[in-house]
């Protein structure tokens, strides 16, 4: 096949715990990850010249090293036998938003390359490539709900999957520091990993209410630090918490995108419309998480 399309869905950390900092400076995470029915769209043309073109409503927000170009270069270095080609990305998700946009795009490109190369793909360590590209890339390569531990490399199935959640994603669309995530972790100052630490096993959920209870009990340990680095995170949190029908408010990753959970799609759409009317400069969208 010459042209392959892959959906790069938004990654949402329904929970995010930080177990501490390793001696190498990386933090151990405990996160329940879901994906939205919204994302970027990546196209790989295997007969085109290798390169990356990015268009779409959020393309102008991209700056600095391009993770898709890095992905192509890494594949060329580690698996030169694979066909690559021209990459086009329709950028729908906000940049540096905590929803795994760049990681989702890299994961989508790896999946497209896997599909494009048929039997040659079987000998490639795709998860090793993903780990080399960033902490969120392994889970975004899978692009399905999983329990994530370690520095993002340890992924575990959630038995029977996740109950579907209707949500509103909100990003205040303010300038964030280039090193936002690193600064959030510095403010957090989690301390070293405790001796004898063993990551918790993947949770299981009998129903939707059990999932919500788990989210309320675990939340996002980066919330306070994220609000210190980007104060608008707190403004968004309060605006979501005040909406009719709201069941839970959380922060994805290191922010600044927050999410609100609602009982059904209609309530989520109504909440999105209300927020958009009051805060027209914010990015607000109703999604399904699963």
Residue 1 clears pLDDT 70, i.e. is over it:
no
- Burial of 61: CB neighbours in 10 Å, binned 0-12, 13-18, 19+: middle
Q: What is the pLDDT of residue 195?
A: 92
Q: What is the pLDDT of residue 178?
A: 83
Q: Once rounded to an integer, what is the mean pLDDT over residues 219-238?
A: 97
Q: What is the pLDDT of residue 63?
A: 66
List pLDDT tens digits, range 183-228: 999 999 889 999 999 999 999 999 999 999 999 999 999 999 999 9
Q: What is the pLDDT of residue 286?
A: 98
Q: Which of 40, 91, 105, 136 is catalytic?
A: 136
Q: What is the pLDDT of residue 48?
A: 80
Q: At which residue do the structure tokens 């990356």 appear?
A: 52
Exposure of 217 in the CB half-sphere (CA atoms within 13 A): 8
Q: At which residue do the structure tokens 């391009």 appear?
A: 66
Residue 278 clears pLDDT 80, i.e. is over it:
yes
In the structure encoding, which two tokens stand for residue 231, read together?
Answer: 């104060």
- For residue 191, give every residue at least 6 positions away whose Cβ sits within 8 Å of its Cβ, in sequence order, or none: 20, 21
Q: Is 136 annotated as catalytic?
A: yes
Q: Is 179 annotated as catalytic?
A: no
Share of the chain above pLDDT 70, in %: 99
pTM score? 0.96
Q: Which of 11, 91, 105, 180 is catalytic?
A: 11
Q: What is the pLDDT of residue 190?
A: 84
Q: Once rounded to an integer, what is the mean pLDDT over residues 73-77?
A: 96
Measured distance CA(224)–CA(44) in Å, rounded: 40
Are 133 and 78 a contacting pair, CB within 8 Å? Answer: no
Residue 175 clears pLDDT 90, i.e. is over it:
no
Q: Once rounded to an integer, what is the mean pLDDT over residues 87-114?
A: 95
Residue 128 clears pLDDT 60, i.e. is over it:
yes
- pLDDT confidence bin for 23, thresholds 50/70/90: confident
| DSSP notation for 86-97 | EEEEE--SPTTS
Question: In order of start, what are the domains of the chain with their CATH numbers?
Answer: 3-156 (3.30.230.10), 165-289 (3.30.70.890)
Say what the alpha-carbon torsion angle 224, 179, 89, 150 is, to the nearest 10 degrees.
-60
Q: Once rounded to an integer, what is the mean pLDDT over residues 138-162?
A: 97
If one counts every other C-beta atom within 10 angstroms of the C-beta of residue 77, the result is: 10
Are 84 and 72 a contacting pair, CB within 8 Å? Answer: yes
Are 148 and 155 a contacting pair, CB within 8 Å? Answer: yes
Residue 101 clears pLDDT 90, i.e. is over it:
no
Q: What is the pLDDT of residue 65?
A: 62
- pLDDT confidence bin for 64, thresholds 50/70/90: low
Q: Which span out of 93-102, 174-183, 252-261 was modeled with the highest average pLDDT?
A: 252-261
Residue 96 clears pLDDT 70, i.e. is over it:
yes
Q: Once rounded to an integer, what is the mean pLDDT over residues 38-57?
A: 93
Q: What is the pLDDT of residue 62?
A: 78
Q: Cα dihedral sign for 285, 153, 67, 71?
A: negative
Strand 86-90 versus strand 51-55 pairing type: parallel
Q: What is the pLDDT of residue 245?
A: 96
Q: What is the pLDDT of residue 7?
A: 98
């Amino acid at each position: 096949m010459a042209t392959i399309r892959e959906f790069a869905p938004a990654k949402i950390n329904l929970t995010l715990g930080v177990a501490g900092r390793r001696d190498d400076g990386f933090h151990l995470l405990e996160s329940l990850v879901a994906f939205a029915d919204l994302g970027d769209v990546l196209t790989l043309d295997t007969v085109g010249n290798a390169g990356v073109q990015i268009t779409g409503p959020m393309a102008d927000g991209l700056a600095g090293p391009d993770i898709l170009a890095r992905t192509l270069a890494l594949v060329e270095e580690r698996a030169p036998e694979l066909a690559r080609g021209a990459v086009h990305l329709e950028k729908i998700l906000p940049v540096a938003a905590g929803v795994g946009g760049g990681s989702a795009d890299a994961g989508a490109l790896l999946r497209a390359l896997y599909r494009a190369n048929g039997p040659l793909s079987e000998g490639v360590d795709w998860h090793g490539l993903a780990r080399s590209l960033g902490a969120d890339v392994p889970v975004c390569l899978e692009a399905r709900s999983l329990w994530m531990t370690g520095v993002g490399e340890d992924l575990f199935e959630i038995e029977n999957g996740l109950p579907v959640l209707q949500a509103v994603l909100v990003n205040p669309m303010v300038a964030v520091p280039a090193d936002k995530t690193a600064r959030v972790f510095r403010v957090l100052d989690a301390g070293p990993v405790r001796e004898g630490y063993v990551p918790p096993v993947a949770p299981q959920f009998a129903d939707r209410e059990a999932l919500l209870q788990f989210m309320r009990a675990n939340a996002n340990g980066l919330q306070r630090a994220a609000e210190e680095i980007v104060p608008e995170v707190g403004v968004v949190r309060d605006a979501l918490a005040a909406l009719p029908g709201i069941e839970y408010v959380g922060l994805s990753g290191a922010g600044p995108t927050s999410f609100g959970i609602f009982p059904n799609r209609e309530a989520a759409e109504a909440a999105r419309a209300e927020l958009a009317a009051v805060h027209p400069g914010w990015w607000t969208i109703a999604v399904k998480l699963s």
